[in-house]
Structure 1
Amino acid sequence: MNPSTAFARVLVDELVRAGVRHAVLSPGSRSAPVALAFAAEPRLTLHVRIDERSAGFFALGVAVETGAPVAVVCTSGTAVANLHPAVLEASFAGVPLVLLTADRPPELRGTGANQTIDQTRIYGGAVRSAVEVGVPEHRIGAVAYWRSVTARALAVATDARHPGPVHLNLALREPLVPDGDPVWPEPLDGPRPGAWTAVTAPVTSPARIDDVLGGPPTERGAVVLGHGAADPREAAALAAALGWPLLSEPSGNGGSGSVPAFALLLADPTFAAAMTPDVVIVVGKPGLSRSLMGWLAGAGRQVVVDPRPDWADPTRSAAVVVPGVPVPAILEAPPRP
């Protein structure tokens, strides 16, 4: 399978998993992989509009009517600019649109190639997020990146605090149509049903750990404190209550309860493999230790605690994002009589 086809199939599947049920397509050559993937997806309705300006406003209306995010697909060049009026309307109205603009690969930019303009951040401040996704590559690990960046874009677009349009610029290299080869070096499906990363809306009280994990906590768990952890005391209390080790980076402010020299311990491959956790709760932004980052990437499930829409997930392996440190049942206050 060629990379453009594999990427498009993963992109569309992740959009559907995250709640997209309608897509609006203005056909073009460079966007062919994404158009074909949408056309083959039975879980959503594909609307075809030849004119990009009309497509943008049609998508805006569908999103308003359904209350759900709508994907908009167009080819490269000035087609992208023709979506701008609808993007501005969506921005002011707080309507979640997912703009999927096909683009030439870097080697064809700035060369006078047909249908090529500078599409990077073309919508400026009218979008909540703009990502240059990069040319799809035939390599192991690509699927995690594709799903992670798509899930994050949907989470930003639908954030209740500031919903609106998001932009994914898709540099696609030929071949742009399926080659008949179904083989890819890793499974294209995600490891679990639903979106790659599930984001919990802000709440006034912390969630129960059982609800976050979907069941009782496992014995093989850990709590990691990274830079800027907003709730280090609550995180330490959670680790103590569950009997999990607390791994605090220097700026995580974990105090004396943290495992000392854990970065050196995890640098031993044998030790790290033997200590692979089923669940890790990550509070703050880790990243000072390569050994810790590798260990996090291998965890069975990673829960990120971050109230911001641009949550930290450097390993692109977060399964759940919650706004505050979860509370174990044994720490909950008893109900009032």
Structure 2
Amino acid sequence: MNPATAFARVLVDELVRDGVTDAVVCPGSRSAPVALALHQAELAGRLRLHVRIDERTGAFLALGLAKASGRPVPVLTTSGTATAHLHAAVLEADQSGIPLLLLTADRPPELRGTGANQTIDQVGLYGGAVRWAADLGVPEEGREAPQNRYWRSVAARAVLVATGALSGDPGPVHLNLALREPLLPEGHDPRPALPSGVWAGRADGAPWTDAAPGSGPRAMVVSAPAPTTRAPGRARRTLVVAGDAPVSLGRSTSVVAAQRGWPVLGEPSSGTWGGTGSVRGAVLLLGAASWAAAHRPDRVVVVGRPTLSRPVSALLAHPDVVVDTVSPHPGWPDAGRGTRRVGGVLPDPGAVLGELDVSGHVAPDGWAQEWTAAAERVGTVV
């Protein structure tokens, strides 16, 4: 499977997982990989596809579908001046708070600014009228796993931002998709299997990242048609990584962690420093390969904005570790592109932590004590 085809199938698969049920295609050459992936999703019964030749008409159709359903609706165009015809609908979506997703195919960087056919500067094309915009890098061979995480994280973020799930401010989002030839798949398979292996999404059809219920000011969370939660009790051994955050959030974190028996790797500005369950020197423990492997948590809850050391970054990127994030800031809190669920902070931050603890599980006896005892031994040596 060539890179453009892989990207398109992953992108569409993730958008469907994230709650997309309708899409509008305005046909063109550069956007062909994504158009084919959307068509294949329709054949599989995963979404409804609407085709419009005129981009302005297509954009307003997507706007109306999104307004009527409350779900994000993507409109896909080819590169060049076709993208400009979406602008009027973008302004309407901005003013009305409608979750419109703009998918604009683009030439790869080596063709930009060269006078190549149907090539304009599409980066930042819609200015401040969009809630978020991203210029995705060109899909490449040899980087399958990190690209899969990146593409799915971007798609999930686009849906969360467009629906206002964290901010309470829904509106249009622009994804600019640079694609390099070959644009068409090898052979013809109108009903390909869902992405698997290195291209797989979360288990059970879940979104790559979703929002904790009640995290946004207006709790605007979109549920995907497929199941979106994992079976309760899977992630038993939980570790909290607490970074810079308001004192109130740190205190709530310590309380929830103590109730659940979760050790806390807290930084001095986290509000958890010295609190119940706080494990000083935990970063050193994670740097000890054999100990870290034997005590690898099933789940990590990231609170605030931590300084991600190499051992912590490696833990968050581990494929067998579920990562949930609670952020007091409006920016996207997932540097590792692996967070399963994000939650914003309400007046009661403990409520958000409680929502993230979807299974209500308590850590095994002695889990926190093992971390504390090991840290004390490290402290006597260091």
Normalised to the residue count of structure 1, the TM-score between the two structures is 0.89
Asked if residue 256 in structure 1 is aligned to residue 263 in structure 2, the reply is no
Match of 1:96 in 2: 99
Do the aligned partners of 1:91 and 1:165 also contact (CA within 8 Å) in 2? yes
Asked if residue 195 in structure 1 is aligned to residue 231 in structure 2, the reply is no
Shift of 1:144: 1.1
Q: SS of 1:83's equivalent?
A: helix
Q: Show the 5 A alignment for 1:68-147.
A: 68-138=71-141, 139=143, 140-147=145-152
Amino acid at match of 2:200: D
Match of 1:306 in 2: 327
State the distance in 2 between where 1:218 and 1:50 align: 48
Q: SS of 1:224's equivalent?
A: strand
Match of 2:15 in 1: 15
Q: Show the 5 A alignment for 1:1-337.
A: 1-42=1-42, 43-138=46-141, 139=143, 140-159=145-164, 161-180=168-187, 186-192=197-203, 193-202=205-214, 215=232, 218-228=235-245, 231-257=249-275, 258-298=278-318, 300-306=321-327, 310-323=331-344, 324-325=349-350, 326-327=353-354
Amino acid at match of 1:169: N
Amino acid at match of 2:54: D
Q: Deviations over 1:179-203 (max 9, x none)?
A: 2499999432213222111212436
Runs of 5+ consecutive residues of structure 1 not aligned to the other structure: 206-211, 331-337
Counting aligned pairs with the same residue, the percent is 53
State the distance in 1 between where 2:339 and 2:259 align: 23
State the distance in 1 between where 2:284 and 2:20 align: 44
Q: Select the structure that is richer in helix.
A: 2
- Which deviates more, 192-201 or 153-162? 192-201
Do the aligned partners of 1:60 and 1:97 also contact (CA within 8 Å) in 2? yes
The 3 A distance-change label for structure 1 pair 204 and 102 is closer
Q: SS of 1:141's equivalent?
A: helix
Runs of 5+ consecutive residues of structure 2 not aligned to the other structure: 218-228, 362-382
Q: RMSD value over aligned CA atoms?
A: 2.6
- Which deviates more, 2-11 or 254-263? 254-263
The 3 A distance-change label for structure 1 pair 310 and 59 is same
Normalised to the residue count of structure 2, the TM-score between the two structures is 0.79
Amino acid at match of 2:304: G
State the distance in 2 between where 1:34 and 1:204 align: 31
